Structure 1
Amino acid sequence: MSPRQTSVPRPLRRSEYQITFGTSNAQQGGTDVLATQGNAVVAAWERLTVDPLADDTTCHGMKGDLEFITRAGKTHRRRQYELSNGARIWFYGDERSVVLTDVHTHHPNSTK
């Protein structure tokens, strides 16, 4: 991109969720998984902006010790979106935001 060109973030409908990185590790993992699974990440983005809290085979709540996460004194139910090749996006919903806490390029050992 030339200095005059700036990337334009995708605008959101009022009913959609905004996706944010909650940690620097999630941001790095997001960069890594985008480089290897671009189309799958776009599909995940579309799903997570529209209906991140609905359960299906691709997107669902975590269980056991990973079920909850506490941020800024508030406890949230952690969820995961499953990409191909075992990659995972871990997140929680907070009002109209989806906060990415971990992005794994392969199946994380803690959920095997």
Structure 2
Amino acid sequence: MSETWDFLTRTPQQTTVTNYPLEGSLAVITRGGRSFQRWQHKPTLKGSARVWFYVDGSTVYLEQVHTAHPNETK
């Protein structure tokens, strides 16, 4: 998790094989009347855990943390 913290605090919107924007109906999250691109981060390449987040300015908001592959993206 420390690597996830480091990545999300330094380069949360860098697209990699383990960090990328979600697509389709999950691509956008609305908070406070504003829309944001929703991202997914995989803490490990082979693991099924997922962190969903969005970025507002220089702040990363963790929206959901899944310990297993979320059904919404299957």
Give TM-score, length-normalised by structure 2: 0.94
Structure 1 stretches (4+) deviating beyond 6 angstroms? none
Show structure 2 runs of 5+ residues with no match.
Answer: none
Q: Greater share of helix residues, 1 or 2? A: 1
Give TM-score, length-normalised by structure 1: 0.63
Residue 16 of structure 2: aligned partner: 56
User: How far is the alpha carbon of 1:111 from its aligned partner?
Assistant: 0.3
2:55 counterpart (86, 93, 97)? 93
Residue 6 of structure 1: aligned partner: none
User: How far is the alpha carbon of 1:77 from its aligned partner?
Assistant: 0.3
Structure with larger Rg:
1
Identity %: 40
User: How far is the alpha carbon of 1:99 from its aligned partner?
Assistant: 0.2
Aligned residues: 72
Q: 1:106 and 2:63 equivalent?
A: no
Show structure 1 runs of 5+ residues with no match.
Answer: 1-40
Q: Greater share of strand residues, 1 or 2? A: 2
Aligned equivalents of 2:40, 2:4: Cα separation in 1: 11
